[in-house]
Structure 1
Amino acid sequence: MHDWTLISLRFDWNEARVTLSLNNTASDTVYLVAENVARLFVPKMDEWGKSVSINEIIGPTRQSDGIEILQIEMQSGDVIEIAAASFVLPMGSN
């Protein structure tokens, strides 16, 4: 997902679902979905400068309690972290 663009992040509180809208390198809109979200951390400090592009995806990594952690490092230096029961990653995200 390097150089993909983060368009939006939506947290449906009632459904405990986070949906990220992304543009891939072909400029197609794709979605990353986290189900049964337990924790969401979305900093916007822009330590490396303003950017809407993804640098690196780390995970999802299953923890001992069964929760999966996904980290999205933005090219701004911010790291979005989602802890959820499961993730649906967009096609071609590897």
Structure 2
Amino acid sequence: MHDWTLVSAHVDWINKLAEFKLLDDTSVERVLRLEAIETVTLDCREHWGPSNSVNNIVFVEDESLNELTATIEIQSGGKLVVTASLSSNIGLPQRARLPTSKIG
């Protein structure tokens, strides 16, 4: 998902849902969706200069806290971090089944 373009980030507070719209390397729209979210942090600062291209996406499971954390790092240096229950349904874009690191 490196060099994909972040189009939008949407949080549905009532339904505890986060959706990130992205354009893949062929400009096809993909949606990363996390349900049962617990926390959301959006760092929109441009530490490394302006960009809305994805540098990387990392998923980490912490079984001791029953949490999954998804971190989207943007090439500007900004980050979008979402923590959800491990029971969360995660919708990953096709062609983007990413390995998950485990803690605990």
TM-score normalised to the size of structure 2? 0.85
1:33 correspondence with 2:33: yes
1:22 correspondence with 2:22: yes
Question: Where does the alignment leave 5 or more consecutive residues of structure 1 unmatched?
Answer: none
CA distance in 1, matches of 2:80, 2:22: 14
- Residue type at the aligned position of 1:20: F
Question: Where does the alignment leave 5 or more consecutive residues of structure 2 unmatched?
Answer: 99-104
2:92 maps to which of 78, 89, 92: 89
- Residue type at the aligned position of 2:49: G
CA distance in 2, matches of 1:32, 1:58: 12
Alignment RMSD: 0.9
Aligned to 2:69: 69
TM-score normalised to the size of structure 1? 0.94
Quick one: percent identity of the two aligned structures?
A: 31
SS of alignment partner, residue 18 of structure 2 = strand
SS of alignment partner, residue 43 of structure 2 = coil
CA distance in 2, matches of 1:47, 1:13: 28
Q: Which of the pair has more CA radius of gyration?
A: 2
Q: Report how many residues are paired.
A: 93
1:78 correspondence with 2:78: yes
